């Protein structure tokens, strides 16, 4: 009995310390809001210095709820940075009908997009009918053909931003990988055609989400690593900034990091809870506490 009592006391102390740490980190997260906004704008200006030009934003996802589960930092920052005249297109390759909830999930995706992109911007949500599932192999040529009819990448007067998953997807999901393969084929085919025609002025920017496939600690540390970097930059006697802008030397080395403010994270979480009600099961709450993707998006950037 004494051992059990001690275990309870120790657990209570541990829980108390964790709660205090969480409160301190959240306060720091809110405190660094101006720094987060400044850093986001600085990064976006690096890649898109002429934000009032003719742009179109395209997000390619595999399932309804991918937009908020994995891409909300990107959506929030691009929505804040670009003027409302820039249209935002969401292409979802499946209805998420693996459990027979396709119609519900399509409606939820539209409601989520309306919550996340809550201004006068033109928002288009287009849903295709590939069957989702970890055992479902999608035809990449078919996806690429469909996307090529919806994204006018041949129009050199229109700057296209195309966002999707990295080559490993998130947690190696095969449907995520198909999104990446299709987008990469689309832009690579165009790049080869442009090379033949000697067209060198880039007007397509592809952003591939980094998945932290081999770094579980980074993948599930929520906003903590970014806050610790900001705190270090603030208190370090040497004032050596950890965060640096990406190099412009080669497309492969270009990366961009976008982070939700606490208010933007709260909005994204609200979109999940209110729009994607069919997907709010108990383990989703753990994702929204621990996952880096709901706080921070890092992308590999390629220009064509």
Q: Is residue 16 part of a domain?
A: no
The total number of structural domains that make up the chain: 1
Q: Is residue 275 part of a domain?
A: yes
Q: Which two tokens stand for residue 83?
A: 């003027």
The CATH number that applies at residue 85 is 3.40.50.10320
Give the integer Cα–Cα distance in Å for 200 and 178. 28
Q: Is residue 3 part of a domain?
A: no
Q: What is the pLDDT of residue 242?
A: 52
Q: What is the pLDDT of residues 191-245, one digit of tens each?
A: 887 666 666 678 999 999 999 988 999 999 999 999 999 998 888 766 555 544 4
Name the one residue in this structure whose structure tokens are 């998420």: 96
pTM above 0.75, yes or no: yes
Q: Any idea which of 7-11, 107-111, 172-176, 180-184 has the lowest mean pLDDT?
A: 7-11
Q: Is residue 21 part of a domain?
A: no
Q: What is the pLDDT of residues 165-206, one digit of tens each?
A: 999 999 999 999 999 999 999 999 998 876 666 666 789 999
Q: Domain range spanning residue 163?
A: 50-214+247-281+297-303
Q: Is residue 42 part of a domain?
A: no
Q: Any idea which of 80-84, 135-139, 238-242 has the lowest mean pLDDT?
A: 238-242
Instruction: Answer whether 107's CB lies under 8 Å from 70's CB.
Output: no
User: Order of strands, edge to edge, in the sheet holding 159-165?
Assistant: 123-127, 88-92, 55-61, 159-165, 204-209, 296-303, 255-259
Q: Is residue 4 part of a domain?
A: no
Name the one residue in this structure whose structure tokens are 């190099």: 247
- The model's confidence at residue 31, banded by pLDDT at 50, 70 and 90, is very high
Q: Is residue 201 part of a domain?
A: yes
């Amino acid at each position: 009995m004494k051992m059990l009592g001690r275990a309870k006391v120790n657990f209570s102390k541990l829980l108390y310390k964790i709660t205090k740490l969480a409160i301190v980190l959240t306060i720091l997260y809110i405190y660094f809001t101006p720094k987060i906004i400044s850093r986001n704008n600085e990064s976006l200006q690096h890649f898109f210095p002429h934000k009032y030009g003719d742009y179109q934003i395209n997000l390619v996802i595999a399932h309804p709820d991918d937009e908020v589960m994995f891409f909300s930092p990107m959506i929030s920052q691009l929505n804040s940075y670009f003027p409302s005249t820039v249209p935002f297109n969401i292409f979802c390759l499946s209805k998420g009908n693996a459990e027979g909830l396709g119609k519900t999930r399509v409606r939820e995706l539209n409601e989520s997009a309306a919550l996340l992109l809550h201004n006068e911007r033109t928002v288009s949500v287009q849903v295709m009918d590939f069957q989702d599932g970890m055992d479902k192999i999608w035809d990449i040529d078919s996806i690429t053909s469909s996307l090529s009819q919806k994204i006018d990448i041949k129009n050199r007067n229109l700057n296209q931003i195309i966002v999707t998953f990295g080559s490993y997807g998130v947690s190696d999901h095969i449907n995520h990988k198909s999104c990446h393969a299709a987008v990469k084929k689309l832009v690579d085919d165009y790049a080869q055609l442009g090379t033949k025609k000697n067209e060198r002025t880039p007007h397509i920017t592809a952003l591939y989400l980094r998945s932290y496939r081999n770094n579980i600690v980074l993948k599930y540390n929520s906003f903590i690593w970014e806050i610790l970097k900001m705190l270090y930059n603030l208190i370090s006697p040497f004032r050596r900034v950890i965060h640096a802008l990406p190099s412009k030397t080669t497309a492969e080395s270009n990366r961009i990091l976008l982070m939700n403010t606490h208010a933007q994270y709260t909005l994204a979480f609200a979109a999940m809870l209110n729009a994607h009600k069919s997907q709010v099961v108990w383990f989703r709450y753990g994702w929204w506490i621990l996952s880096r993707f709901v706080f921070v998006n890092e992308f590999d950037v390629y220009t064509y």
